[in-house]
Every structure is written in structure tokens, then in C-alpha cells.
Amino acid sequence: MVHSSGIGVYLKQLIPFLLSSFQVTVLGKPEELNGLAWAPSVQVIPMEADIYSIKEQVELVSKIPSCDIFWSPQYNVPLLPIRAKKRLVTIHDTYHLAYRHTLPLAHKLYATAVMKAAVRLADQVITVSHFSKTEIAKYTNCPLEKISVIYNGVDNVRFKADFPEKASKQLREALPQLPEKYLLYVGNVKPHKNLITLLKAYASLNPALQAEYHLVIVGQKQGFITPDQEVFQFLEQHPSLALKVDFTGFVADALLPFLYKCASLSVFPSVYEGFGLPPLESMACGCPVVASSSASIPEVCGGAALYFRALDAEELRIQLENVLTDERLRADLVKKGLKQSKEFTWEKSAAQHLSVLKELLPKG
């Protein structure tokens, strides 16, 4: 899952910190590690199965070697016995349980059974917010003392406000279709990401502002188990609006900081998140953030974002217009955002992960 959206970032950032204390073996496709600086320092056991598949379960049991700790970075844990003395699992959120009514029956049954098994089989559970800790306990009956909350971090080397002037030029050359002024959404097109509310708010934006600012959507558009069809239906019904909404699709990691930096504001409208990295990355790049007040988002963004109720498109429209027309408000959000983003570092996160891992090691 090293290239799987937020979980991929989690893995890419944390694995290097483990190498000084552990001999690390990873399961995956060796070619997917090409270009990662730490790849030569880990052993790789090839895995060909798709995640969340029966074939994956068979491969996990046969390929996991004898080890002190087996760490699953997502809830798709091996369900059968494995050759590990201890098990650790990270569960980022319980969306598949909280919103199980939105899933096809097979996926609903899989998510319910496997997530409950994940907490039962694990010696310790890591999650990424106190909100998610409460949700895990609620939906799986996991004892609270078994769950460690460790926040994600922001890569403050990549995401920063002081890019050289040529950075903007490099971005325009790499993405020539990028509009001059834009509102930015970073995330996948899934129902719980609530992109439909953002589109409705943008559609009702003051006409002069809508003429001045495009809406740029960065992230995977297709290929999901539960895609957000309502988004595409809405755009089909509003063809003039669709001309102002730009889907970039996948964007190279190197370009993302520049996209934040050049945006007039960043919007995070999710109804359900275990953590949510895009708002913090935006803040670190000096981009003001408008975010929903749902789930873990206020826990992560603190007082550095301008909030709206997740399903209230009119309230979101008002907040967008407030940021776009009030320079003092923008400056205040940027200042608070830079400070808030510095509270979350991968170094701090890694130290806490290492502490949990070392506690699991056999004593003596």
C-alpha cells in the first residue's frame, strides 16, 4: 500500500525511522519501491495479490516469515495464524463501519468481519486521532487501553511557505492547463469526501468570484469500490459549471506543495476522516484552509481553519466568499495555519511508533 493515498504517505514517512532500531521486511511489489531512498535498506517479500482479497489472505499466511512483530498498516490483517510473536495494527478510521450502509453487501460483510478481527487478533492498536479511538471502541468493542493515539505528521521539508519564485513557473510548465487563480481540493472522489457539497457551494458563489477563480480537484477520480457518482451527475447537469472545474487526476508528489502554495485557498469538506493530511499540508504551505467541522477535522486543524457544517453548501459558500474577499482574514488564517502545522511532525510520530513497537518486543 506504499502508493495508496494517505496510507502510502504514512508508510513512506515512517519506515525510514524504523531502520535504526529494527530489521525491517516489507510485503509488496519490489518494483513499486523504485525511487524510494530507503528501499535498499529493507528486505522485500513479493506479494502479488490485490489488497482486501481472499488471495491476499492466503499469501499473507504463507509469506510472513518468523518475526518478533508483524505490523499491519491498515485493517486488512492476516486472519489465520502467522509466525509472529506479536501483532500490531494501525486502523486509521472506521468509515467502513460507520458508513457501512453505503457499501455493497460483500464489502460491508468483509469490512465488519475483518476490522473486528483486526482488533481482536492484535496485541496493540494504533490510530491517528482521539476521534478514531472513540469510533474504534464504539464499533468493535476494543478496550480503550489497547488503542494508542499517534498523530500523523507533515513533511516540513517538502511542505513549506518559502518556495523560490521559480517554483510557480515550474508548476505552470508541468501543469499547463492549471488556471491562474483557483480554489483547491486535494482528495479522492469518494462519497464521504463530500465533494458534492463543495460543488454546490462553488456553483452558488458570487458570479464575479466564480468568474475569477476556478475549482481545481487533485486526486484519483476513478477505480473505487464506492465512487461518488453524484459528483459526475451534478457536473453533467451543469455544463457551464463543468468548464470551471478542473480535474487534474494523479499529480506527482513533487508538484503537490506548489499546488497548495499557488492556491487562493484549500477546501476540505469531508464528512468523515480519521485524520486528514491535506489541511495541514495546505497550512504548512501558507494556504488558508476552509474545512468541515466533522469527525477528527477540528481536532487536527484546531483554531487555524475556517469551519462550516459538512452538508451545508450555503454555509460553505459564505465561508469561501469570506476568505476570498477579506485580506485580513486570509492573513490571520495563514499565520495560524503555519503555527498549527508545526505541531505535527513525522519525527514526533515516528518516536511514538517506535515506543509502541519496543514495548511489544519480547522481554529479556
Contact 284, 304 (CB under 8 A): no
Percent of the chain with pLDDT over 90: 77
Same domain, 181 and 263: yes
Same domain, 244 and 306: yes
Place of cell 509472529: 84
Contact 257, 281 (CB under 8 A): yes
Same domain, 196 and 317: yes
Q: Is residue 158 part of a domain?
A: no
Residue range 14-21: mean pLDDT, rounded: 96
What does the pLDDT read at residue 108?
A: 86
Of 235, 228, 246, 239, the closest CA to residue 200 belongs to 235
Beta bridge partners of 72: 89
Using the Cα atoms of residue 131, residue 132, residue 135 and residue 141 in order, give the sign of their dihedral: negative
pLDDT digits (tens, 9 = 90+) for 143-196: 999 999 999 999 989 999 887 777 778 888 888 889 999 999 998 888 889 999
Q: Is residue 161 part of a domain?
A: no
- Range of the structural domain that residue 48 is part of: 5-153+346-360
Percent of the chain with pLDDT over 70: 97
Q: What is the CATH number of the domain that holds 336?
A: 3.40.50.2000
What does the pLDDT read at residue 351?
A: 98
Amino acid at 345: T
* End-to-end alpha carbon distance in the chain: 34
Same domain, 121 and 265: no
Same domain, 180 and 272: yes
Q: Is residue 30 part of a domain?
A: yes
Same domain, 129 and 187: no
What does the pLDDT read at residue 227?
A: 53
Q: Is residue 33 part of a domain?
A: yes
Same domain, 140 and 229: no
Same domain, 149 and 189: no
**Averaging pLDDT over each range in 29-43, 125-139, 151-165, which range is the top one?**
125-139
What does the pLDDT read at residue 164?
A: 77
pLDDT digits (tens, 9 = 90+) for 109-120: 988 999 999 999
Same domain, 185 and 320: yes
**Residue 50 reports pLDDT greater than 80:** yes
pLDDT digits (tens, 9 = 90+) for 261-292: 999 999 999 999 999 999 999 999 999 999 99
Q: Which of 88-102, 155-169, 193-207, 344-358 has the lowest mean pLDDT?
A: 155-169
User: Rounded CA gap, 357 and 36, in Å?
Assistant: 23
User: Rounded CA gap, 307 and 316, in Å?
Assistant: 8
The total of other beta-carbon atoms located within 10 Å of residue 358's CB is 11
Same domain, 262 and 354: no
Beta bridge partners of 307: 291
pLDDT digits (tens, 9 = 90+) for 214-273: 999 997 665 434 456 788 899 889 999 999 999 988 888 889 999 999 999 999 999 999
pLDDT digits (tens, 9 = 90+) for 311-330: 999 999 999 999 999 999 99
DSSP-derived secondary structure for 228-247 = -HHHHHHHHH-HHHHTTEEE
Q: Which of 11-20, 96-105, 330-339 has the lowest mean pLDDT?
A: 96-105
Same domain, 215 and 73: no
Q: Is residue 160 part of a domain?
A: no
Confidence grade of residue 102 (pLDDT, cut at 50, 70, 90): confident
Place of cell 497550512: 283
Mean pLDDT computed over every residue of the chain: 93
Helices (H) and strands (E) in the chain, counts: 16, 12
pLDDT digits (tens, 9 = 90+) for 71-96: 999 999 999 999 999 999 999 999 99
Of 255, 244, 253, the closest CA to residue 182 belongs to 244
Same domain, 238 and 321: yes
Residue range 31-40: mean pLDDT, rounded: 92
Structural domain count, the chain: 2
What does the pLDDT read at residue 363?
A: 80
